[in-house]
Structure 1
Amino acid sequence: MSPAPTPPLRLIFLGTPDFAVPTLETLLALPQAQVVAVVTAPDRPAGRGRQLHASAVKEAALARGLPVLQPTNLKSPDFQQELRSYAADLQVVVAFRMLPEAVWAMPRLGSVNIHASLLPQYRGAAPINWALMHGETQTGVTSFFLQHEIDTGPLIFQDVTPIAPDDDFGSLYEKLKVAGAALAARTVAAIAAGTAPSIPQQLSAELRPAPKLSKDTGRLDFSRGAQELVNQVRGLAPVPTACTQLPDGRGLKVFRAAVAVAPAEATEIPTPPPAAGTWRTDGRHHLRVATADGWLDLLEVQLEGKKRMSTAEFLRGTKINVP
């Protein structure tokens, strides 16, 4: 007589932005699991009318007929009682806020998080941005069991994702969104089978954090090297965007930049370059700024109050007065 089939794990999914939606959809199709409820952020006012908008995860959950919980306080006894009523075996967390222990330790198998870096590198709120800003050539996704300190729990699985030279935050976000969904499916299947590893994270002096981005993170400091600034632009494009000021003080967002290659005509770019922060333009194609070690080409920009455009388009409609 064959043994009775093992029932699927009862899952609660916690997530908010569109980054988490592919993982939710993948888990809904996983035979080893049954998503019984979704926890997401409360609706937020957005747009010109400041009307309330649901999170991407809420929209996806409602489309599948799933119960949705939107607590304002994760420590609320009422919320925790409602959460407990779903009798989850496991919780899966993707791009959600920090959980109190009473929540992450509630299921019998605990809670797992899908993080967009190769932990223990880039612990924190903005791992994709910081990997790009540091010029990494690879990153990835990690599944791990939650514990007290953020992003420190035992590792389960990791998948590496190469970073292409032309990747920016937007393109890498899309790659890792898909990679994270596949990793979550593999992780939940292993936990259901009782074969998931639990590997303590190894600390070292070379670890880089990934703190929340601030307004200062986006300001371009031309006393730095050109490649550092290129990486900064990549790590912040298309949002929240690197920024600077034109010589006349107008604000300028920068979406793409490159280390400038000196042209044959020595008159176009003085050699060696002048002081860092010196602007040059031919008024047609090039808008360049001197950095600590060469020239930075601004390739795609947005003047305050205008639309995003290539530098050639920008220069056709904007006069830049440079020394």
Structure 2
Amino acid sequence: MSPKEIRIVFMGTPDFAVESLKALVEKDYNVVGVITAPDKPAGRGRQLSESAVKQYAMQQSLHILQPEKLKNPEFIAELESLKADLQIVVAFRMLPEIVWSMPPMGTFNLHGSLLPQYRGAAPLNWAVINGETETGVTTFLLSHEIDTGKIMFQEKIEIAENDTVGDLHDQLMVIGANLVVKTVEALASGNVEAIDQENLIANQDRIKHAPKIFKDDCRIDWTRDTESVRNLVRGLSPYPTAWTELVHSGKQEVLTAKIFAATRDNFSLPAAPGTLQTDGKKFLKIACTDGWLSITDIQLSGKKRMKIDELLRGFHDLGDWRVKV
């Protein structure tokens, strides 16, 4: 079968998935349906917000399905009516077997890690948080256990010392889109040998996981070393963002501070973890267990995101605050 003849159903929700759908559409693949999340209330006005994938699919006049429940008989019937040969999943939710087993060519997923490492919902975040020096994307066939199916293709990239998860997201979004197209073409030609993930796990390997990130995972522990804290900041920037709390020394007042970027300060004498220093003009430093981090990009409660010198110009008593440890 020619790649352009394959009837494709695409499943995805955020910006990361749009690039893959766009690559398929622009190369004239036969996308017969797009499945994405239902519209959700957002913002102060609670207006219904459409997913990034839906917005793009509407622009391209593609057939869109937005099921609340993936086992709903009406949805299953409509999905069957599309007669897909192949389903592609990019940044979507877990599928029931009745869905992923439906098309004759199977269902494959684009995952943001070098499987079998970092199975789970937040692979890019955890790779940076854990201080990895490389990551990538993988296409694999769906099976019963999440992120465990047979691998078809992978593409690696380096993680630079100052890369944030946002930087990796933008790089891998494009690399992943190209890998999706490569995978479709290989499946159409029959020129692919899927590899069992268990064959890639050596006895000495420790499988690292990438579970969903919650608010408490984002709280900075200043009793850790500077590298661990800086990696946490990079791995959560720009979203969902590492945070800490500042307590005023004379008032019963607490501020939440989201920290988007920080650099190591190797010149100051050690201090107790959580110690805060500022000149009130250009720098704000917070001590970790083995040294200091200079905060360069921050957002306080009720304020916009700012560079530290911009914040200090309007926040004249920051020296009266301490970090809650």
Q: The TM-score by the shorter chain falls in which range? A: over 0.9
Q: Measured at CA, do residues 215 and 6 of structure 1 come closer, stay the same or move farther in structure 2, by a change above 3 Å?
A: closer
Aligned partner of residue 31 in structure 2, secondary structure: strand
1:56 aligns with 2:61: no
1:21 aligns with 2:18: yes
Alpha-carbon offset, residue 132 of structure 1: 0.9
Alpha-carbon offset, residue 283 of structure 1: 1.7
CA–CA separation in structure 1 for the residues paired with 2:69 and 2:2: 38
- 2:102 is matched with which residue? 106
- 1:130 is matched with which residue? 126
Alpha-carbon offset, residue 164 of structure 1: 2.1
- 1:256 is matched with which residue? 261
Match of 1:30 among 27, 31, 39: 27
- 1:274 is matched with which residue? 271
Aligned partner of residue 8 in structure 2, secondary structure: strand
1:152 aligns with 2:152: no
Alpha-carbon offset, residue 203 of structure 1: 3.3
Match of 1:191 among 176, 182, 187: 187
Match of 1:203 among 201, 204, 209: 201
Alpha-carbon offset, residue 160 of structure 1: 0.6
Decide whether the 8 Å contact of 1:223 with 1:277 is kept in 2.
Answer: yes
Aligned partner of residue 109 in structure 2, secondary structure: strand
Q: In the TM superposition, what are the counterparts of 1:303-318 in structure 2 within 5 Å?
A: 303-318=300-315
Q: What CA deviation, in whole Å up to 9, does each residue of 1:231-253 have, x standing for no partner? A: 10011111111111124232111
- 2:245 is matched with which residue? 245
Match of 1:296 among 276, 293, 297: 293
Decide whether the 8 Å contact of 1:247 with 1:279 is kept in 2.
Answer: no
CA–CA separation in structure 2 for the residues paired with 1:175 and 1:30: 20
Decide whether the 8 Å contact of 1:113 with 1:143 is kept in 2.
Answer: yes
Q: Measured at CA, do residues 261 and 247 of structure 1 come closer, stay the same or move farther in structure 2, by a change above 3 Å?
A: farther
Decide whether the 8 Å contact of 2:3 with 2:184 is kept in 1.
Answer: no
Aligned partner of residue 227 in structure 2, secondary structure: helix
- Code of the aligned partner of 1:41: A
Q: What CA deviation, in whole Å up to 9, does each residue of 1:151-200 have, x standing for no partner? A: 00000000012222222122211111111100000000000000122101
- 1:96 is matched with which residue? 92
- Identity among equivalent positions (%) equals 50
CA–CA separation in structure 1 for the residues paired with 2:161 and 2:4: 45
CA–CA separation in structure 2 for the residues paired with 1:290 and 1:52: 43
1:171 aligns with 2:163: no
- 2:224 is matched with which residue? 224
Gaps of 5+ in 1: 263-268
Alpha-carbon offset, residue 5 of structure 1: 6.5
TM-score by length of 1: 0.93
Q: What CA deviation, in whole Å up to 9, does each residue of 1:214-239 have, x standing for no partner? A: 11111000110101111100111111
- 2:135 is matched with which residue? 139
CA–CA separation in structure 1 for the residues paired with 2:255 and 2:50: 35
- Corresponding residue pairs, total: 311
CA–CA separation in structure 2 for the residues paired with 1:147 and 1:222: 41
CA–CA separation in structure 2 for the residues paired with 1:82 and 1:230: 48
Q: Measured at CA, do residues 247 and 261 of structure 1 come closer, stay the same or move farther in structure 2, by a change above 3 Å?
A: farther
Q: Measured at CA, do residues 293 and 5 of structure 1 come closer, stay the same or move farther in structure 2, by a change above 3 Å?
A: closer
Aligned partner of residue 34 in structure 2, secondary structure: strand
Aligned partner of residue 83 in structure 1, secondary structure: helix
CA–CA separation in structure 2 for the residues paired with 1:10 and 1:106: 13
1:9 aligns with 2:14: no
CA–CA separation in structure 2 for the residues paired with 1:196 and 1:93: 18
CA–CA separation in structure 2 for the residues paired with 1:224 and 1:257: 15
Gaps of 5+ in 2: 249-253
CA–CA separation in structure 2 for the residues paired with 1:69 and 1:120: 31
- Code of the aligned partner of 1:157: F
Q: What CA deviation, in whole Å up to 9, does each residue of 1:251-285 have, x standing for no partner? A: 111010111121xxxxxx3x2x1211111112222
Alpha-carbon offset, residue 29 of structure 1: 3.2
- Code of the aligned partner of 1:252: A
Decide whether the 8 Å contact of 2:141 with 2:152 is kept in 1.
Answer: yes
- 1:265 is matched with which residue? none
